[in-house]
Amino acid sequence: MFKIEVRNKFKDNDSLKRPDWNLHFLAMTCVISNRSFDTSTKCGCIATRDNLILSSGFNGPPAGSLDIKIPIDTRPDKYWYMEHSERNCIYNACKSGINLNRCVFYVSGVPCIDCMRGMLCMNPKEIVYLDGGDTQMNHYKKDVTNNGDTIEDYLCRVAPNTNVIEYKGEAIKQVIDYIYSIYSSVELRLGGENNG
């Protein structure tokens, strides 16, 4: 029977002290999410194949929008304008003619049901995401169980060839620590406060 693979920790660094690919790409989704100007929810998504980035997206209005005119602080008004990171990642790939078949999606939070279906339409190899606990957003697990289904049954029917991996617990701290280590390394290489 299909189920979500829940992991509480990333693999240890390899012999060259490089981080696990899942840790690396999930940290990147957190960085990408900061491009969003949504004041309450920031989410990022990356699509990869063979550990190469194919596309990325963050939650925001359609490309070319007059961002300054978007009612970002008002729910539910903002929902008419904002698109989720996962769908923006898919749209960005489509605009560039990039095929996402059998890719791996990385998401900085638990996907909503619409985004989960959108990613599954791309026939991904894996969907990997962070679950940091409660969120204001509805996510697919709530929607599926509210509909009287089990998550396992739902994913078995709609995603029989896709692995779904959820990182939580200590893994969240590992992502934060990795982002801080990147910041420290970049600051050291660029000279930090002495460079400006």
Q: What is the pLDDT of residues 68-116, one digit of tens each?
A: 888 887 777 888 889 999 999 999 999 999 999 999 999 999 998 899 9
How far apart (Å, rounded) are the C-alpha atoms in residues 186 and 121? 38
Average pLDDT, the chain: 89
Of 3-12, 83-92, 118-127, 145-154, the poorest mean pLDDT is in: 145-154
How far apart (Å, rounded) are the C-alpha atoms in residues 101 and 189? 38
How far apart (Å, rounded) are the C-alpha atoms in residues 127 and 21? 13
How far apart (Å, rounded) are the C-alpha atoms in residues 41 and 107? 13
Q: Look up the CATH architecture of domain 5-195.
A: 3-Layer(aba) Sandwich (3.40)
Which of 47, 59, 162, 27 minimizes the C-alpha distance to 93?
47
Residue 75 pLDDT: 76
pTM reported for the whole predicted model = 0.91
Provide mean pLDDT across the span 152-172: 91
CA 68 to chain centre: 25
152, 164 Cβ separation under 8 angstroms: no
**Residue 54: φ, ψ to 5°:** -95, -40
Helix (H) or strand (E) holding 131: none
Provide mean pLDDT across the span 18-33: 96
More confident residue, 21 or 143: 21
Residue 1 pLDDT: 44
24, 178 Cβ separation under 8 angstroms: yes
35, 60 Cβ separation under 8 angstroms: yes
Instruction: Give 88's DSSP letter.
Output: H
* Domain definitions of the chain by residue range: 5-195
More confident residue, 51 or 155: 51
Instruction: Give 63's DSSP letter.
Output: T
Residue 56 pLDDT: 98
Q: Is 32 exposed, middle or buried (0-12, 13-18, 19+ CB in 10 A)?
A: buried
Residue 150 pLDDT: 81
Residue 15 pLDDT: 92
How far apart (Å, rounded) are the C-alpha atoms in residues 65 and 78? 13
Provide mean pLDDT across the span 19-45: 94
